[in-house]
Structure 1
């Protein structure tokens, strides 16, 4: 059987993400922090959360996808795009490989104002987009029996290659829903 480069990338990326999502630990403070100083996205319309990763400051934005009439697009409730801070700070769509094998998401409706989505690179961990009592939408995920209202995801990459990055860990940052306190959950590769 002959595999194309996109098929090889999907297999390798899925393997790497599977390893780091299988071993979950809570870390109050980061060990082995990224040497990169990351900007916090400002003035982003309908921002749900953002994803940053080594080795540069380019940031993935996950925002509520609002139609012209002001309602949520039920077919595609989340739009994903880059803010290319490492270049000129411009907005840019994901490339085909990024969308289909790495940072894109698969979404399904669960009912009125509630959706489940999973990253195409790792379908085991479900995230939920839903409308809360304050009439705004938020994304949540449950890790170690803690439900987190997600504000930021971070992937620590140290070396490797385009096809097989050396992912050290991932962090989910946000607010723990049961306590209302800030929380960071680290998902370790080790």
Structure 2
């Protein structure tokens, strides 16, 4: 059975919604942004989500309704060894686009119960990475054919080098938001072709 068929609303999604409710959705005109809502609510303007600036250390990022604050997951290199930090090879942090666009570390609750990661070295240059809020879904940090580190995920029986996650929310309650869909985007590690998989949790 494909993993997401049995998916229930994990704390990761709840946490994303909780933080999102603190700031109203914002429309911006950044030329590097992407229009994510082609079917906005009637009478509302679509939200334009910014594309984070190019960064060689970024592995993937997460965006969600109803605001544009963005979670970045980047490679954490040990300055002494030049390799990923064995205890924490991936470093998550915010870009608060809905405020002043500043970078911000996750707070304790976010780190321990929502967006933080459980990280474990499983081999030479290979790490098992899981969200603290949904440990059933494994991610793997390892080098690709290009010699660079990527986060690899298997979604709908397809292996992808993950680059982006988007969560669309419409209504619901504070603790039980209505998740319309989760979209995961990446590239086929062999052909380089872009892969997009969307599902309803």
**Aligned counterpart, 1:135:** 147
Does residue 46 of the first structure (1) align with residue 39 of the second (2)? Answer: no
Choose from 110, 113, 128 the match for 1:116: 128
Q: CA deviation at 1:32?
A: 7.1
Query: 1:116: how far off?
Result: 1.1
Report deviation, 1:122: 1.3
- TM-score normalized by the length of structure 2: 0.74
Unpaired runs of 5+ in structure 2?
1-6, 14-35, 41-45
CA deviation profile, 1:55-103 (whole Å, cap 9, x unmatched): 1111000000112333320110000000001111100011222111211
Show the counterpart of 1:158: 170
- Stretches (4+) displaced over 4 A: 30-34
Q: Distance in 1 between matches of 2:39 and 2:71?
A: 19
| 1:37 has 2:48 as partner | yes
User: Residue in 1 aligned with 2:67?
Assistant: 56
2:9 is aligned to 16
Residues of 2 paired with 1:31 and 1:91: CA distance? 25
Structure 1: unaligned runs, 5 residues or longer? 1-13, 21-29
Structure 1 CA distance for aligned equivalents of residues 178 and 38 of structure 2: 14
Instruction: Check whether the contact 1:147–1:178 (CA below 8 A) recurs between aligned residues.
Output: no
Q: CA deviation at 1:161?
A: 4.0
Name the CA distance, whole Å, in 1 between partners of 2:107 and 2:173: 18
Give the total of aligned pairs: 166
Structure of higher RCO (CA pairs closer than 8 Å, 6+ residues apart):
1
